[in-house]
A and B are shown apart, each in its own frame.
Chain A
Amino acid sequence: MIKRTFIGLAKPRLEYDVIDETLPAPVKVPKSKKVTLLSYGPWDPNCVVNVKNGDKVKTGQKIALNTGNDVVSPVTGTVSSVSEFTDGKGQKRAAVSIDVADVEEIDENFASFTKGQDFNQVKLYLAYAPGKPEFSIFSDADKPIKTVVICGADSDLMLVTRQYVLKSGIEDIKQGIKMLKKITGVQNVIMAVPQHLSQTAASTGAQVKVIDAQYPAANPFMICKDILGQVVPAGKSCEDIGVHMMSAEAVASIGKAFSLGKVPSEKIVTVIRKDETKALVSVTIGTPVKDVLKAVNVIANEGDRIVFGGPFTGTAAYSEDQPIEADADALIVQDSDDIPLVSDYPCINCGECVRACPVNIPVNMLVRLLENAMYEEAQNQYDLDSCIECGLCSYVCVARMPIFQYIRLAKHELARMNTVEATND
């Protein structure tokens, strides 16, 4: 954990980690006996399932849950259950559990689609590949995507996943970019990478831009502003201004899928141990957390905290049985003694958050309204919608208020209120 320095005048200097020159080979996590696949879409009790308990599935076979909510099995085995699952953000999703068989069989459908250049089918399969390449966004006629930014910098501190993939899989990325252009028709592809990877990135032939080393420069909104010179208006997304971000791993997956004729299923994850040492692992999507931790000799005890993603933007897991998902770049285990607790103190108006906020939000005022559930006022008067969700305000808050949590809750509540209004109209 990075602490405040003695000299507190400057803004906190939080720099992204740089991957070692020597490129450690990732630890391969042995295949689990059972994997769990989580749907991206919401759980629907009546969802149409084209498999039933006891059915055999092959590696790379698509399991249709309902429209747009499919999963692709990364293993060969037997379906043992399809059930409801509530994730760390409180969303209800479908969970498909598969008992893994000893002998792997490959489903050939995907290969035939790639050969036949049936990109519509290919897209559906790829959505479950490592890095989670998303294609649905390209078919939204209201938001034409003009630029794809391939992010080779990691999304949060401590992580080296994307950097590793970029460094070790540059050929896949090259192929991925080619296919990406073909599938989506978007020609403007930019690689945004940390300084030390700009040479590597340049060998793909794509246009390369360098991301600053200081957090939160790799935040999508910051990339739009600093690298593309396009500020995303408050309350809008990058897609609204025609920009879509893809991680280096997602693009590598696309490339690999075409060259191998199968959907890749091994994901690179940075595991951060309790003592903050790191290990890169290569793990099959759907593997439960406990198997990953076992592979790198980490023991999580009662009262510890397990986080999917980085220290600033991740989500806490509530069970070691939760699976690694396609976009989980990191797994952090924090010892119970190292967990900073939030307090119920009010804001003391010290101004630290205001100085830390990269988008000039008057957080000290905002938080006063959010505490009292005055969400609309917060949106109208104190720029709630400009927040890029970097978490810096909570990180520096002297009163240790859960500011970031208030912000996300407020955005969630406002979105819910809007849907209710829309349905009432």
Chain B
Amino acid sequence: MTNRKKFIVSHAPFWHDGSQISARSYHMMIAALPAVLFGLIQYGVPALAVLAFSVATAMLWELVMNYLMKRPVSIGDGNAALIGLLLGMMVPATTPWWAILMGTFVAILLGKHVYGGIGGNPFNPVLIALAVLMLSWADLFDFAEAYRNYEFDFAMVYPIAMLKYYGVSAISSFDTGALMMGKQIGGIGATFGLGLIIGGIYLIIRGIIRWEIAISFLVGVFVTALLFNMADSAKYAGPMFHLFAGYTLIGAFFLATEDSSSPVNFIPMLIYGAGAGIMTVLIRNIGVFVDGVVFAILLMNLVSPLLDKIRPKAIGKVA
């Protein structure tokens, strides 16, 4: 055996379907575009500044962590950029720079890298960051205050805050259609319901998020809100309001579906999604926080590994 051309010797399978992590991240960002663009049009340059700064700092922290942990540079996979984008979409357009810097730091460090980086995080990094910001500087999320210098043709109040403090009568000016078309204030990329739904459907069709989680989350919200509403319609808003107000849609399509922190088996996904949906409305209706999405999903993140123990028996397995 003399002739020695060197061939690649590797292990089967010799094909790959072409999917990759970076493509997943970028498709998530593409899916977020309608909602993001709407936010940019609505809130203008400050919104652009917030989003750009959020994405940039998230990537910067990722790079710093790669360096500190002596790991290969991983900003190319788009995950950090996606975390930055989603965080930016959840906060008001007037958020100060230091809060964003802090948020992305917490997301990348405490949300992701302390657990060993991508795939290791038990919680959604974006939500960890939001939770820290909400608990530390609750004023930042007083949207009505944040947008006091803006003037729009709809009520300049944060719908679910109004609901919380003034009851159903206070939100009568928000009909479903208006909410869906983004005629409400809120996070930069969290108010345009139609855009989020379009993005979500895109992600579901592409198989990038698991529809089971998104849909069961929405069903959970709907059914729980409906039950409350039926029990006391003067005190509790109807299900359509809960679906289109606050963080519900971005939570359903972009946050609850985060890969690492959610289950992968069918029944666990349904329980997980529905659980988060139910908790959301419970927190909104009887909890202390204005919006329940952040804590509801974090709570379900916690039980996700347990839920995933419910799985089909492997074929051939004895006993």
Q: Which residues of chain A have a CB within 8 Å of any CB of chain B?
A: 1-4, 6-10, 12, 88, 221, 225, 231-234, 236, 290, 300-307, 309, 311-321, 332, 334, 336, 339-340, 342, 344-352, 354-355, 358-362, 364-365, 383, 385-386, 391-392, 394-400, 402, 404-405, 408
Contacts and interface: CB of A to CB of B under 8 A. Distances in A.
What is the interface of chain B mostly: helix, strand, loop, or mixed? Answer: loop
Given A1-B16, A319-B4, A352-B19, A362 B317 contact: no
Nearest to B203: A8
Interface in B257-304: 259-262, 264-265
Given A303-B8, A339-B8, A398 B19 contact: yes
Interface stretch (B51-59, B112-120, B130-138, B174-182): B112-120
A359 B120 contact: no
B265 A362 contact: yes
B306 interface: no
Given A8-B208, A348-B118, A404-B13, A396 B315 contact: no
Nearest to A405: B11
Contact of A345 (B14, B118, B264): B118
Contacts, number: 192
B269 to A, nearest CB: 9
Contacts of A319: 1, 3-5, 7
Nearest to A345: B21
A349 B7 contact: no
B17 A4 contact: yes
What is the interface of chain A mostly: helix, strand, loop, or mixed? Answer: loop
B12 A8 contact: no
Contact of A233 (B7, B117, B318): B318
A334 B20 contact: no
Nearest to B318: A233
Contacts of A383: 314, 317
Given A302-B5, A303-B6, A394-B13, 11 more contacts: A8-B208, A9-B207, A9-B211, A304-B7, A307-B12, A318-B9, A332-B14, A340-B14, A351-B259, A394-B12, A399-B119
B318 A234 contact: yes
A350 B259 contact: yes
Nearest to B8: A305
B20 A7 contact: no
B314 A350 contact: no
B13 A395 contact: yes
A383 B262 CA distance: 21
A356 B9 CA distance: 25
Interface residues of B, number: 50
A360 B316 CA distance: 10
Contact of B3 (A8, A290, A301, A317): A290
Given A7-B205, A9-B204, A345-B118, A386 B9 contact: no
Contacts of B72: 344
B314 A360 contact: yes
Nearest to B6: A302
Contacts of A233: 316-318
A302 B7 contact: yes
Given A311-B14, A319-B1, A321-B1, A347 B119 contact: yes
Contacts of B16: 1, 340, 394-395, 397, 400
Contacts of A234: 314, 316-318
B311 to A, nearest CB: 6
A234 B316 CA distance: 5
Nearest to B261: A349
A360 B315 contact: yes
A221 B316 contact: yes
4 shortest interchain CB distances as A-B pairs: A8-B207, A351-B264, A340-B16, A391-B13
B7 A346 contact: no
B316 A321 contact: no
A122 to B, nearest CB: 33
30 contacts: A1-B18, A4-B19, A231-B315, A300-B7, A303-B8, A307-B14, A312-B12, A312-B13, A314-B14, A315-B12, A316-B10, A319-B5, A332-B14, A339-B14, A345-B77, A346-B119, A348-B119, A349-B264, A350-B24, A351-B210, A351-B259, A359-B314, A360-B314, A362-B264, A364-B264, A365-B308, A391-B13, A392-B13, A400-B20, A404-B11
B152 interface: no
A333 to B, nearest CB: 9
Contacts of B150: none
B15 interface: yes
